[in-house]
Amino acid sequence: MGPTTYTLCQKAFLGPAMWIAGLCAFPPLFSGEPIVLNAPGTSVTKIFHAPVEKSYPLAVTFTFPSVEARLKDQIVGDRYSDRCQGEIRYEEIPEIQRKGLGRPIPFRVVIRKVADRAVVLDHTFVSLCVNSHGETEKTRTIGWVPLAIGDYVAEVTNIEGQSGLSDVSAKLSLYGDQGK
C-alpha cells in the first residue's frame, strides 16, 4: 500500500468500500522475528520499509506449548485494560486492578534510518496486557512507533530476563494495521 491508497482508505465514503474490497489491507513491515525473553540483553535487528507516514504498532506474540499452558499463564496475562494504553507505569495502577494484566516486560526500541544511521527513535517501552489471543498464542503491544516514509533498521532489546517463559516462544512484529 502506498501513500495515495492509504489516504483514500481514510476517506469517510470511499474508505469503507475500499476496505470491504480488500484494497486497504496493510501487511506487516516485519513479522515473526524470534526473540529470547528468558535472558536479559537479547535483541533482534531488522531492516524494513515504511510505505506511509503513520504510527505503527510494535507487538510481541507469545506461543505456548499447549492451550492449557496458555490458560494457566499469569506472566503474560489474560486480559486487556484501558490502563495499558500509553506510558502508564505498572506501579501507578491500583493493585486491585492489576490482576490478570501480567508482568511488565520492558523493551528498548531503537529505530535508525538506513541511509545515514540517524536515530529516529530510542525509547524504552514497557509491555503490559494482552491485546489478543488464539488457541496457543497471546499478543501484547510493546509500543507505537511513529515513522515517516522510508527505509529503517529496528533494534529491539529485551531489557530484563523473564523467568517462567522457558517453554514459551516469543516473536516480534511491526504491524501495518488496516488502512482504516
Q: Is residue 180 included in any domain, yes or no?
A: no
| Measured distance CA(94)–CA(124) in Å, rounded | 22
Average pLDDT (41-55) is 95
Q: What is the mean pLDDT of the chain?
A: 87
Q: Give domain status of residue 31, yes or no.
A: yes
What CATH number does the domain containing 38 carry? 2.60.120.790
Asked if residue 35 belongs to a domain, the reply is: yes
Residue 21 falls within a domain, yes or no?
A: no
Amino acid present at 120: V
Q: Specify whether the CB–CB gap between 180 and 21 falls below 8 A.
A: no
Three cell numbers written together for 66: 499447549
* Domain that residue 114 falls in: 27-174
Look at the pTM and tell me if it is higher than 0.75.
yes
Catalogue the long-range contacts made by 97-101 (C-beta closer than 8 Å, 24 or more residues apart): 101/77, 101/128, 101/129
138 in a structural domain: yes
Residue 147 within a domain: yes
Q: Is residue 1 part of a domain?
A: no
Strand-pairing partners, residue 55, are 146
> Where does 12-142 have alpha helices with state H?
14-20, 67-72, 95-98
Confidence of residue 180 (pLDDT cuts 50, 70, 90): very low
Q: Residue 91 and residue 88: Cα distance in Å, rounded?
A: 9
pLDDT surpassing 50 at residue 78? yes
- Compute the distance between CA of residue 171 and CA of residue 35 in angstroms, rounded to an integer: 6
Mean pLDDT, rounded, for 20-40: 83
Q: Give the distance, in angstroms, between the CA of residue 75 and the centroid of all CA atoms in the same chain.
A: 17
Q: Which residues contact 142 (CB under 8 A, 6 or more apart)?
A: 58, 59, 60, 107, 109, 125, 127, 156, 172
Cell output for 10: 481514510
Q: Give the tens place of pLDDT for each residue, 155-167.
A: 999 999 999 998 9
Tell me how far apart the alpha carbons of residues 110 and 63 are, in angstroms, rounded to a whole number: 25
Count of domains for the chain: 1
117 domain-assigned: yes
pLDDT digits (tens, 9 = 90+) for 79-115: 888 777 767 778 888 888 888 889 999 999 999 999 9
Q: How confident is the model at residue 7 (pLDDT cuts 50, 70, 90)?
A: low
